[in-house]
Chains A and B, each alone.
Chain A
Amino acid sequence: MIETIHLSKRYGSLRALSDLNLRIEQGKVFGFIGPNGAGKTTTMQILSTLLEPSEGQAFVCGYDVMKEPADVRQSIGYMPDFFGVYDNLTVREYLDFYAGAYKIPANKRNALIADLLELVNLSNKVDAYVDSLSRGMQQRLGLARCLVHDPAVLILDEPASGLDPRARIELREILKQLRAMGKTILISSHILPELAELCDEIGVIEQGRLIACGALDDVSVRARGITLMLVRTLTNRHQAGHVLSQCPLVKDLEEQEDGFRFRFVGGEAEKAQLLQELVNAGATVTYFGESSENLEAVFLAITEGVGG
């Protein structure tokens, strides 16, 4: 559904993207992880026909982004990381404008707009002015705008940035619905745990190079023997801390209010041994497992040393 072959982009002497080879199958949700300036947005803009690659090829739904840009545009819904809205337009008029821009017949637009607003939970705002909506609502409206021509592929650049936790959850639920509808989604985010829950595959990009890519479990922690762990104890917290600090497989140990967080370099057998040592030291362990920020551990582990 999405394929890039040796894709590169240079801005003068700056190499924003270098030899990117990516393949995303139909119906998959692909998460793009990387710090600012890593090349995520550049990749998305090339796939959205907004940027011309310096080298290589990119295909969306089988269409070449350079040779068949109109077909690519019809196949994608693109949401940039920052986007504005038009003043003095209501939600209905805003979607009607984009429906017109995709040449959707006027007699089909009302039903389409109603369906889209239902999907993004904005049916009650149909006559509200777009600039009066909250950031979260505008983001959901942006998502509805992406779907106005029923594209097979969604390219979402940091859709959750700047949203409060409730708005993030709402957005995530909508994305889950879209995944269930069979849309292929390319999404980037800084909120890594959110991607972990949503994505079938992830790609880690750093300094324009894809340094890890594949199914979440393949790229993940277990395969690389690195896990972000959380340990909670009821009593004897001090002893638990001592055991963890002495263990050579424990890295970056942090003592927090709710327990200990650390990166564990080892397999299942080593984990079991560590738990045994904690119990033997008299710590009443109430939780011993992977932290929800596990994808951050993947990212930190994989990018460790890149560009250093």
Chain B
Amino acid sequence: MRDFLSNPILVKELRERFRTKRTVWILTLFLLIMGGIPLGLLLISPSSAGTLGENGELFLISAAIHYAMICFVVPALTAGAISGERERQTLNILLTTQLSPRTIVWSKLVTSLAFTSLLLTASMPLYSLVMLYGNVSPEQVVKLVLFFAVNILFLGSLGLFCSTWIKRTAVSTITAYGIAFCFVVGTGLLFFFLGEILQQIDPERYSQAVVWSLPELQILAGINPVIVLFAILDDSLMPSVEFAFTPWLFFCLLLPGAERAVHAVERISAETGAAQVVELEEAPGSCTIGRV
């Protein structure tokens, strides 16, 4: 633990991050959006504001905004971690120290996640307001926090992977957002389209009750964070998927697995030095963090 806390990259990154005014502005903006939208909705609809203990919509809206903010902030924080060092021309120097590529990658991930965790923690008191309006069990809140934590870990690893893989921060960020979009929206759309297509092709065999219970579609639904989020929230907006497994548990086990796979790829590219740092700079398009 002492070694972990004295890790020079952690100390440097935290110093750099928390000294800038930008950090304060990001935190302020995050809290304003997180608190402002639910409060604004209550102001617009005074009838809802009076339904203390019965209004589950506020929880749903808050959780959805929270998740959207995580998807927006996390890739942006990690997608420049390694490519930023490369652009700043500090990566070569870093690679001639005694820090291993694994230490560099992990430290970058931990510092980025530390800030995202700060955003998550700072916004949790807003849920006290949500709890006031009821229809939320403490168990749901715990599941939701776990769900957010898993998503932060996955999206953070994805951003870091893109940052290691792609030379320029701007391209890396766009790629990370693109992959995250495919994951968050793409898998959900694929799930709905496949279900609808099967119903259209063979309505008798794939009835409304049967089609959403197909194991293949259930697995697809289980990896889609939006469907899992709504399953946690017990919302009826989703089609009546009768999961044969616990969706949030499946999701929480699957994504760290994917995150480990992403890190394995990062580590392999880092340690084999398949296309080393200098070659990256001399041969546009190739990329990874590496050395002999």
Using a CB–CB cutoff of 8 Å, the interface residues on chain A facing chain B are: 11-12, 41-42, 45, 48-52, 65-66, 69-70, 73-74, 76, 78, 80, 82-89, 93, 96-103, 106, 145
Contacts and interface: CB of A to CB of B under 8 A. Distances in A.
Contacts of A76: 96
Contacts of A78: 92-93, 96
Contact of A66 (B11, B88, B292): B292
For A73, A98, A100, A106, which residue has the most chain B Cβ atoms within 10 angstroms? A100
B276 A84 contact: no
Given A11-B279, A50-B96, A73-B96, A97 B12 contact: yes
Interface stretch (B13-21, B233-241, B254-262): B13-21
B8 A100 contact: yes
Given A11-B283, A50-B277, A83-B90, A89 B96 contact: no
Interface string B32-59: 0000000000000000000000000000
22 contacts: A12-B283, A41-B278, A42-B278, A50-B277, A50-B291, A51-B292, A66-B292, A69-B292, A70-B98, A74-B98, A78-B93, A85-B88, A86-B16, A88-B20, A93-B15, A98-B97, A100-B6, A100-B8, A101-B9, A101-B97, A101-B98, A102-B97
A103 B19 contact: no
Nearest to A58: B292
B121 interface: no
B139 interface: no
Contact of B292 (A50, A99, A101): A50
Interface string B73-106: 0000000000000001110111111110000000
A101 B279 contact: no
For B6, B7, B92, which residue has the most chain A Cβ atoms within 10 angstroms? B92
Contacts of A98: 8, 93, 97
Contact of A102 (B11, B95, B98, B276): B98
Contacts of B202: none
A78 B249 CA distance: 49
A80 to B, nearest CB: 5
B204 interface: no
A207 B283 CA distance: 18
A65 to B, nearest CB: 6
Nearest to A103: B98
A51 B278 contact: yes
Nearest to A69: B292
A83 B93 contact: yes
For A80, A85, A97, which residue has the most chain B Cβ atoms within 10 angstroms? A97
A70 B291 CA distance: 11
A69 B95 CA distance: 11
A78 B283 CA distance: 22
Contacts of A96: 8
A88 B15 contact: yes
B273 interface: yes
A247 B95 CA distance: 56
Interface in B276-291: 276-279, 282-283, 291
A49 B291 contact: yes
Interface of B: 6-9, 11-12, 15-16, 19-20, 88-90, 92-99, 273, 276-279, 282-283, 291-292
Contacts of A73: 96-98
Contacts of B19: 88
Contact of B12 (A11, A82, A89): A89
Contacts of B291: 49-51, 69
A50 B90 contact: no
A89 B98 CA distance: 21
Contacts of A83: 89-90, 92-93
B279 A97 contact: no
B93 A52 contact: no
**Closest CB pairs A-B (n = 6):** A100-B8, A101-B97, A84-B88, A84-B89, A88-B19, A49-B292
B290 to A, nearest CB: 9
Contact of B276 (A12, A41, A50, A89): A50
B280 to A, nearest CB: 11
A306 B150 CA distance: 61
B92 A50 contact: yes
Contacts of B93: 78, 80, 83, 98, 145
For B96, B99, B291, which residue has the most chain A Cβ atoms within 10 angstroms? B96
Contacts of A103: 98
B97 A87 contact: no
A45 B91 CA distance: 13
A99 B8 CA distance: 8
Contacts of A49: 95-96, 291-292
Contacts of B279: 11, 51
Contacts of A65: 292
A86 B85 CA distance: 9
A93 B89 CA distance: 18
Nearest to A157: B92
Contacts of A101: 8-9, 94, 97-99
B292 A89 contact: no
Contacts of B15: 88-89, 93
A50 B278 contact: yes
